[in-house]
Chains A and B, each alone.
Chain A
Amino acid sequence: MAEAVFAVAAVLMLAGAVGVVASRNPVHAALFLVQTLVGVAVLFVLNDAHFLAAVQVVVYAGAIVILFLFVIMLLGVDKAEELSIEPIFGQRPLAAVVGAALVAVLGTVVVTGADVLTGLRRAGGDRALDGDATDIERMGRVLFSEFAFAVEITAALLTVAVVGAVILTRRASRSDGSATADTAAS
């Protein structure tokens, strides 16, 4: 049963991943990305990480890809793009090198087992198995005790990012009025 679910989810994910890369239309690529993310959520459920599965769908499929779609639709790049020009020089050979490196790393992991790179058999170490608390309780306890500082720092970082984005857009309009008038008109 578990193997069957894994097989279906894996096929779904891989097909989605190929679709993201292969589709010419950015909106289709985003939808394939959703497919991959949902496949990951299924794998989370398979590993009893129900909360992660829900968060995967709510945050990634429900917020991040929606944001992608917003940008794609509002910028009007939702048609197939001209691919013959290379915006950054040497981009494509570099991409090939990085891709080959990624394949090498993943191949190593698959061949030798997951602990080669990180030294851990699973995320969370031994903590993953203590007691019969649900994964939400465990995660909450860890986040607000051991990693409370990290959580606060992340919250501060996000706030700074939002405030920074607002300030950047506002300041541009104040110093260079003609530019904003142009963008507003276009």
Chain B
Amino acid sequence: MTGTLVLAADPMLAGDVGLVEVLLTLAKVVVAFAFLLVAVMLMIWFERKLLGGMHQRFGPTIAGPFGILQTLADGVKLFFKEDLVPDRSDRFVFKLAPYLSLIPAFLAFAIVPLGGDFNNGGQVEWWGRTTYLQVADPPIGILLFLAMSSVAVYGVMLAGWSSGSKYPLLGSVRASAQMVSYEAALGLAVASIVLVTGTLSTHDMVVTQAAEGYLGVIPRWNVIVTGLVPFIVFMIAGTAELNRPPFDLVEAEQEQYSSIRFALFFLAEFMNTITMSAIIVTLFFGGPAGPVLVGELGGVNIAWAWGVVWFFLKLFVLLFCFVWMRATLPRFRYDQLMDLGWKALIPVALGWFLFLAALEMGRDRGWSEVTVTVVSLLVFAGAALLLARAVRSGRRSRDREAARADERSDPVEERA
């Protein structure tokens, strides 16, 4: 019977499953879902307010104090608008597509540890049951996130196709090509983390990062352990995966949608942003790991709550960075976007992954770290030179061919 449960790694679900376990799991699902929805609402307001500040204007001000209810007002408005379905559209797929972007965002959020005292393993005891403060801790852990981000491509792709019009289709093909390309870089950055922590489970990753740091003050977060490069790659690839600025080339697939369906897409975009930030916090910044400042309050053990506090603080900082990037960076052109993904991010992520693997190997065999680093850097320099040459010669031959094609096509045009 152990094979029947996806959640087999959760200590709570290891033995017999009774009513309390089911109720506890249900409660966790409801809390996580409610949190995500409220967070999306606040995130939309936060982004607009912050962008307004950075653009030297006010942003939303009317609905509620500081305009905090603006999203609610927009939601109500969109809800009562007429729901248009284009005439030539594929009705079922057209209606299915928004959910295909929304549901993966929530499912990926399920593996994020939200709290717990990670100085003591991160477990909490509620109603006599030991559990983690996360909806699920499957053995494949972070792979679930990658699987969900690859499923999310369907939402974009089918939305464009099902509308039955040419331009949304072109837009969605571009957007899905972008998402598929950047998934590779995303996966390589995740692989570095898996290599360093030696586990796929998000819970165990946080436990590893909660261990004793360096010099007593620097935490053992993966962003430091893996040497910053995977984090930068993940951040850029993640932004591209979300189709957020500066990689927001495609908004057209949404233009075919009206009313509540547009709201669903909008919701999905922000929900994906929050999930991505939560995943980054988990992977690189130790998730809920942090010091417990006040262990007990009125005789009640509240050590787990500090995990929640640290998690939200880190999440907040990352969300701020996402908005900041949007306000600062100009939009990319499509070919620049593909160049960045394939010719910069993937080689860098792959090279850094191999470097980390070499370091790990050297530690096992007792090689000197300096030698490993120097040799790796030399190999990198060689590989980078080769790649640069390949890219240059590729571009030159493409230019030559284009010139020749121009010469040839000219007389054809005259004849016509």
In the assembled complex, A61 has its CB within 8 A of some CB on chain B: yes
| A29 adjacent to chain B (CB < 8 Å) | no
Q: Which parts of B372-416 form the interface with A (CB within 8 Å)?
A: 401, 404-405, 408-409, 412
Say if the beta carbon of A162 comes within 8 Å of chain B.
Answer: no
A80 and B350 alpha carbons, distance in the complex (Å): 43
Complex: how many Å from CA A156 to CA B412? 43
Q: Are A66 and B147 in contact (CB under 8 A)?
A: no
Which applies to chain A's interface (DSSP): helix, strand, loop or mixed?
A: helix
Question: Which of A54, A73, A185 makes the CB contact (< 8 A) with B169?
Answer: A73
Instruction: Tell me whether B147 and A31 are in contact (CB under 8 A).
Output: no
- Tell me the bound Cα distance from A135 to B9 in angstroms: 13
Is there a chain A Cβ closer than 8 Å to B56's Cβ?
no
Give the interface size class of chain B: 35 or more
Give B392 Cβ to nearest chain A Cβ, in Å. 16
Q: Which residues of B contact A53 (CB under 8 A)?
A: 140
In the assembled complex, the CB of B52 is this many whole angstroms from the nearest CB of chain A, namely 37
Interface positions, chain A 161-186, Cβ under 8 Å from B, are: 173-174, 177-178, 180-181, 184-185
Chain B contacts for A1, CB-based, 8 A: 1, 4
- Name the A residues within 8 Å of B3 (CB-CB): 2, 45-48
User: In the complex, which residues of chain A have a beta carbon less than 8 angstroms from the beta carbon of B176?
Assistant: 66, 70
B150 touches A50 (CB 8 A): no
Are B4 and A178 in contact, CB atoms less than 8 angstroms apart?
no
Contact B4 A50 (CB under 8 A): no
Number of residues of chain A lying within 8 A (CB) of chain B: 39
Task: Kindly state whether residue B157 has any CB partner on chain A within 8 Å.
Answer: yes
C-alpha spacing A38/B153, complex, angstroms: 15
A134 interface contact, C-beta 8 A: yes
Contact of A173 among B157, B401, B409 (CB under 8 A): B401
Contacts A54-B147, A66-B157, A66-B180 given; does A177 touch B405 at CB 8 Å: yes
Q: Mark A109-120, 1 if CB is under 8 A from B, else 0.
A: 000000000000
> CA separation between A134 and B141, bound complex, in Å?
12
Expressed in whole angstroms, the Cα–Cα distance for A54 and B177 within the complex equals 21
Any A CB within 8 A of the CB of B144:
yes
CA distance A31 to B151 in the complex (A): 12
Whole-angstrom distance from the CB of B93 to the nearest CB of chain A?
7
The interface residues of chain A lying within 8 Å CB-to-CB of B169 are 73
Give complex CA distance A74, B158 in Å.
13
Q: Cβ of B22 < 8 Å from any Cβ of A?
A: no
Contact mask for chain A residues 6-23; partner B; CB cutoff 8 A; 1 contact, 0 none: 000000000000000000
B124, CB-defined interface residue at 8 Å: no
Query: Does chain A have a CB within 8 A of B193?
Result: no
Measured between alpha carbons, how far is A165 from B2 in the docked complex, in Å?
46
A5 and B150 contact, Cβ closer than 8 Å, known pairs A51-B143, A63-B180, A78-B161: no
The verdict on B260 contacting chain A, using a C-beta distance below 8 Å, is: no
CB of B104, distance to nearest CB on chain A (Å): 10
Q: Is B320 an interface residue (CB 8 A)?
A: no
A-B complex: 4 closest residue pairs judged by Cβ atoms: A62-B150, A54-B143, A57-B147, A54-B140
Can you list 26 A-B pairs, Cβ within 8 angstroms, ordered by A? A25-B90, A27-B93, A34-B154, A46-B3, A47-B3, A51-B139, A53-B140, A54-B140, A54-B144, A54-B146, A57-B150, A57-B151, A58-B147, A58-B150, A61-B150, A62-B151, A66-B176, A73-B161, A74-B173, A78-B161, A135-B139, A136-B140, A136-B200, A173-B401, A174-B401, A178-B408
